[in-house]
């Protein structure tokens, strides 16, 4: 097994069902990952230790999923120079608006790239796009993926045209 390039952190194990979609996307592009449950609120020292040593372990991108007071992605972004992608988790408050705003409303100088509420698959794809800048093998898989998306839409259009 090679060194993980992506750290996937969730604030609670209850986020795992959503986060699995991210892991599937990373696997599609052949990207190794490390998965952890670390709460920004309940064990902040652990997230600090993990984030400050991640680069030394080969991590190049963080993906952090959190709900409600979703500070985990922002805390990580405040610690590391590496890119951070936030996944807001849906909650009972307006469909996860609290999570989304907690992640996207970051102060100047501490950006978090944020996907849609429960947008874990896109988080994995975005991480792959970031890594494709450096790794040609990921870039080739990304190109093939984009062609596949295009072909799927063309096929759907052809089906609709047949109905008309």
Annotated binding site for substrate: 12, 15, 42
Helices (H), 7-71: 16-28, 44-53
d(CA 77, CA 85): 9
Strands (E) across the chain are located at 6-10, 33-37, 61-67, 84-89, 113-114
d(CA 53, CA 107): 24
Which residues are part of a known binding site?
A: 12, 15, 42
d(CA 131, CA 26): 11
Contact in structure between 90 and 99 (CB atoms under 8 Å): yes
Which residues partner with 64 through β-bridges? 9, 86
What is the enclosing helix (H) or strand (E) of 14?
none
């Amino acid at each position: 097994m090679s060194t993980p390039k992506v750290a996937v952190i969730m604030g609670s194990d209850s986020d795992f069902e959503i986060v699995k979609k991210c892991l599937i996307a990373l696997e599609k592009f052949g990207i190794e990952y490390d998965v952890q449950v670390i709460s920004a609120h309940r064990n902040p020292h652990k997230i600090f230790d993990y984030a400050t040593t991640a680069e030394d372990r080969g991590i190049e991108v963080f993906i952090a999923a959190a709900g409600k007071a979703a500070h985990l992605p922002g805390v990580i972004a405040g610690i590391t120079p590496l890119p951070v992608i936030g996944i807001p988790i849906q909650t009972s408050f307006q469909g996860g608006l609290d999570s989304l705003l907690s992640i996207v409303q970051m102060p100047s100088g501490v950006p978090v790239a944020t996907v849609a509420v429960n947008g874990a698959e896109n988080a994995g794809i975005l991480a792959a796009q970031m890594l494709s800048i450096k790794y040609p093998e990921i870039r080739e898989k990304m190109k093939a993926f984009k062609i596949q998306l295009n072909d799927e839409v063309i096929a759907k259009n052809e089906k609709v045209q047949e109905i008309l």
